Amino acid sequence: MGGDNCIFCKIIEGKIPSRKVYEDEEMLAFHDINPAAPIHFLVIPKKHLPMLCDASSEDTQLLGKIMLKIPELAIQEGANPGQTGGFKILMNNGAEGGQEVYHMHLHVLAGKRLGNQQLPGGTK
């Protein structure tokens, strides 16, 4: 894991509780503690990657698996599928990109029309 200071590694290890959406040997999805939409959960690799920029070609399969799992999880959590429904995937990368927790993670938001507006807090 990524060390003692990574809050997401602590969640993966079970040292900090979370409301899990999904878990397997390579990834974990859990509800955001400060949701910015009616449906808001995070998807993280169990491998500690501080940022997307730290991923390498060795991580291609893992990242693809995460991206392909997100639609299934979004629908499972109540997002409406298809062109009239949908969901938003958000990833902050680095300080200028708004990243606050340095363990790569994707926010999945749904449950209302999200559009292109700036999301309120809770998108760490």
- The CATH number covering residue 35 comes to 3.30.428.10
Please, which pLDDT band fits residue 112 given cuts at 50, 70 and 90? confident
Quote the Cα angle for 77-81-82, to 5°.
165
Range of the domain at 15: 7-110
Annotated catalytic residue 107: no
Q: Is residue 116 part of a domain?
A: no
- What local confidence, expressed as pLDDT, does residue 2 receive? 58
Nearest to 101 by CA among 91, 109, 87, 110: 91
For the ranges 7-21, 60-74, 103-117, the lowest mean pLDDT is seen at 103-117
Task: Say if 41 falls within a structural domain.
Answer: yes
User: Is the pTM value of this prediction over 0.85?
Assistant: yes
Selecting among 40, 103, 105, 107, the annotated active-site residue is 105
Count of domains in the chain?
1
pLDDT of 1 > 80? The answer is no
Judge whether residue 121 has pLDDT over 80: no
Residue 32 counted as domain residue = yes
Of the candidates 101, 100, 73, 103, which has an alpha carbon nearest to the alpha carbon of residue 89?
73
pLDDT tens-place string over residues 69-85 = 999 999 999 999 888 88
